[in-house]
Structure 1
Amino acid sequence: MSDWTIALEDVLPNPPSDGSAGVNIAVVGQLNLPDQDEGTYELLLSFTRTALQQLADLGADFTFIDVTDDAEPDYQSIVSADAVIMLGGGDVEATRYGHDGPVPNEYGVDPRSDSRQLRVIAEAVAADQTMLAICRGSQLLNVASGGSLIPNLPDGEHRGLPGEPMFIDDVVNIDVQSPLGEIYPGRENLTVRNGHHQAVDRVGDHLKVIARAPDGVIEGTMRTDKRWIVGVQWHPEDPAGPPDDRAAIFAAVIDEVKRRRAAVPSL
């Protein structure tokens, strides 16, 4: 076991959720990547902990599913949850989106994680589950929908230059008629935290682009054939990002669960 290994207890929120939202969310992510070093360890620890703490602060209960764990995930329990949040992590195996040859700046490729998360997405989509997919999660949503990825963006686009901090403040333009417009009313432009060298390329079936960077890079998608499945390329769970914006997008997942419940007539 590496010195840079993350255990589940390292990312659990303190204080924990009081359960006041009455919602249980399956949070799917990677805690440990192949050849994990100190930098990857710090990012995964910080981002995962921030995401889970945000849910706890909003009163949501959650179950965290680490797809890098040796044990196979309990897929039935994931699909039985009120919603799914897919967190970021390492690169998707290139052959899964039809790319042959080397990928510059590739890191953290874990084929087992890919298989597990693609199955989660397929089952969540089939069940029309509420789902928020972040960064790697958004890329996997596109791949699961038959789309492809840009293997490597030029240095300095949507991430820091070599030798600089990876995560930067970045601007994205959102579709105000989409769920992102509901989450961030009156704001066509958002300043977000980005640190990605890959992005959605060919958009998958039943996906619509709902956010782009000024240079045209796709930063957000949604499934048009389902009620609320949203992918964002940026990291709202970066602790250096705007806390109100982070709370807003996580609260939107909880609100959607409650809307669905309210729409079901009582017997």
Structure 2
Amino acid sequence: MYGERARYWIWDHEAALLPRSYVDVVIASGGAPVLLPPVPAAAGAVDALDGLILTGGPDIGPVHYGADPHPETGAVRPERDAAELAVVRRALPRGLPVLGVCRGAQLLNVSLGGTLTQHLPDVLGHHRHNPAPGVFGPTAVRLSPGSRAAALLGERALVHCHHHQAIDRLGEGLVASGRAEDGTIEAVELAGHRFAVGVQWHPEQDVTDVRLVTALVDHATARRREAER
């Protein structure tokens, strides 16, 4: 979940929240959503989960990958950073199926020692990955033959993007399995893991296409059944 100040009904206060679209795609994929608050103690709940989605959100603190903040890097959420890094570092060694979405893909990379490009327009010369606040830009992605992402989506996909940062140096064991036409890494997979996939786009924005989330749920179900034998 996000940790943000939010206004609703008569209230205006700090809240733990999540866009409803994440809940909807998990349900549409046959899963039962469990929401983890953005506090480090949430890592203790990992052992009770069957799968994990690392959601989108604000920029990750550059301190976590040894960089100074770029002028365009947004306000960071230290508590959420610490919580999610603790969660993913507990989940991966246990073989928990993981899907990282946008920030979640970046967090997966950072957790494994990778780095980020803090402001893509400096490198690319355009804003097509993040056209405007609250707007998702259509992005054509080429997926590597033989990758998990290509097996699910085909070797070409048109996806919903809203990001001004992206993966730079890959973390240990991660393989780039999808790129935009401008070369930006749009999908990664962890070699040797049953299902650890990160996508720079937002699959939760299209509840009519739940192939990625369904794959996560299927792997989570299989892992649960193996444990019960």
In which range does the TM-score fall when normalised by the shorter chain? Answer: 0.7 to 0.9
**Would the alpha carbon gap of residues 265 and 137 (structure 1) be closer, same or farther in structure 2, given more than 3 Å must change?**
closer
Q: Of 202, 208, 213, which residue of structure 2 is paired with 1:235?
A: 202
The equivalent residue for 1:32 is 4
How does 1:75-86 map onto structure 2 within 5 Å? 75-86=43-54
2:221 maps to a residue whose letter is K
2:93 maps to 1:126: yes
Structure 1 residue 37, shift from structure 2 partner: 9.4
What is the alpha-carbon distance in structure 1 between the residues aligned to residue 112 and residue 130 of structure 2? 26
After TM superposition, the structure 1 = structure 2 runs for residues 108-147 of structure 1, keeping only pairs within 5 Å, are 108-147=75-114
Distance change in 2, residues 1:47/1:176 (3 Å): farther
Q: Structure 1 residue 170: deviation in Å?
A: 0.9
For the aligned residue pairs, the C-alpha RMSD in angstroms reads 2.5
TM-score by length of 2: 0.86
Q: Is the 8 A contact 2:2 2:18 kept in 1?
A: no
Q: CA deviation at 1:58?
A: 3.0
1:244 to 197, 200, 208: 208
Contact 1:48 1:237 in 2 (8 A): no
Q: Give me the identity figure in percent.
A: 30
Is 1:168 matched with 2:137?
Answer: yes
Note if contact 1:47-1:237 (Cα within 8 Å) is conserved in structure 2.
no
Q: Are the structure 2 counterparts of residues 265 and 97 from structure 1 closer, same or farther at C-alpha, using a change threshold of 3 Å?
A: closer
After TM superposition, the structure 1 = structure 2 runs for residues 142-153 of structure 1, keeping only pairs within 5 Å, are 142-153=109-120
Q: Give the match for residue 221 of structure 2.
A: 258
- Tell me the residue number matched to 2:155: 188
Pick the aligned partner of 1:53 from 8, 24, 30: 24
Q: Which has the higher contact order (CA 8 A, sep 6+)?
A: 2
Q: 1:237 aligns to what SS in structure 2?
A: helix
For residues 30-88 of structure 1, give each alpha carbon's deviation from its aligned partner in whole angstroms, at most 9, with x where no partner exists: 1426xx799xxxxxx99720110121233321210121xxx653323223211111101
Letter matched to residue 30 of structure 1: Y
Q: CA separation in 1, counterparts of 2:22 and 2:131?
A: 22
Shift of 1:108: 3.9
Contact 1:157 1:197 in 2 (8 A): no
Tell me which residue corresponds to 2:180.
Answer: 213
- Greater Cα offset, 169-178 or 85-94: 169-178
Residue type at the aligned position of 2:71: P
Instruction: Identify the residue that residue 87 of structure 1 maps to in structure 2.
Output: 55
**Distance change >3 Å, CA 49–CA 202, structure 1 → 2:** same
Which letter does structure 1 place at the counterpart of 2:2?
A: Q
1:198 corresponds to which residue? 165
| Contact map agreement 1:150 1:200 (CA 8 A) in 2 | yes
Structure 1: stretches of 5+ with no match in the other structure: 1-28, 39-44
TM-score of the two chains, using structure 1 as the length reference: 0.74
